Amino acid sequence: MNFELIVDNFFLIILGLDETLNLVIISLSLGFVISIPFSLARISSIKILSKSVYYYIFIVRGTPLLVQIYLIYFGLGAIPFVRESFLWIVLKEPFWCGILALVINTVAYTTEIFRGGLQSITKGQIESCKSLGMNKFVMYSKIILPCAFRQALPGYGNEMILMVKSTSLVSLITIMEMTGIARNIMYKNYAPIEAFVAAGSIYLFLNFLVVQFIKFLEWKYNPHLRVKD
């Protein structure tokens, strides 16, 4: 193993960090926003809503992300209807295909995590909201959703780490993020270990930051668990 080469590769691969971060941030924030109504639909008493979200989750969680990425990138483009419609403006770009696949994937997992959080809200909490005269909007925005989010935080943290790792797969549809650059470096100088160790260390550091961020959020949203001095 050549240590100098690892350092050289490190500075080449870090140029792809902004692409990786773009993918992570856009797909996670879109996924977060979409997952809230989805998880409410999942636990709703309207059968058709909860069933359709259930089947969506079943399909997405039962297939590998790579299949979903290929299906969107190669599969959708093969439908003439899609090629002729306005969707093609977005879907001809590999970047947006990648984002679409990542969002579809993360929404399925995040919805299940949020559902767990929502179901941890006890009946007593809802009853006390009602007895204080809150309307539905205030009850959800001030009590139920924040409490559910707090319960869901550890699971959501795992999902964030999984998303950072998942972005490496879009390198297979020609997006040049960190894994893509590392693979190109390997093809150029055929020193695979040096290239992938450099890339791996950046991912490891990114995930370390995510873990710290989740720890901060857990500290912020659990004031009752803080040690007082």
**CA–CA separation, 193 and 40 (whole Å):** 46
Please state, in angstroms and rounded to a whole number, the distance separating the CA atoms of residues 119 and 88.
Answer: 40
Radius of gyration of the chain from Cα atoms?
21
The yes or no reply on residue 176 touching other proteins (CB under 8 A) is no
The residue to which tokens 């679409």 are assigned: 100
**Spatial CA neighbour of 77 closest among 56, 97, 99, 101:** 97
Q: Looking only at residues 182 through 221 of this chain, which bind other proteins when binding is defined by CB under 8 A?
A: 182-183, 186, 190-193, 196-197, 199-200, 203-204, 207-208
Q: Identify the three-state secondary structure at position 141.
A: helix
Per-residue binder mask for other proteins (CB under 8 A), 127-166, x = binder = ----------------------------------x--xxx
Angle at 29 between CA 35 and CA 170, to 5 degrees: 100
Token representation of residue 22? 């773009």
End-to-end alpha carbon distance in the chain: 50
- Please identify, using beta-carbon distances, which residue of 75 and 146 lies nearer to other proteins: 75
Nearer to other proteins, 44 or 205 (CB): 205
Shortest spacing between CB 35 and other proteins, in angstroms: 20
Interaction mask 22-41, other proteins, x per CB under 8 A: --------------------
Token reading at 86:
């306005």
CA distance linking residue 198 with residue 201, whole number of Å? 5
Tokens 């909007």 found at: 137
Using the minimum distance from each CB to other proteins, give the nearer residue, 202 or 217. Answer: 202
65 near other proteins (CB under 8 A):
yes
Residue 105 binds to other proteins (criterion: CB under 8 A):
no
In the complex, least distance from residue 132 CB atom to other proteins, rounded to whole angstroms: 38
Nearer to other proteins, 15 or 132 (CB): 15
Residues that bind other proteins (CB under 8 A): 58-59, 61-68, 70-71, 74-80, 161, 164-169, 171-172, 179, 182-183, 186, 190-193, 196-197, 199-200, 203-204, 207-208
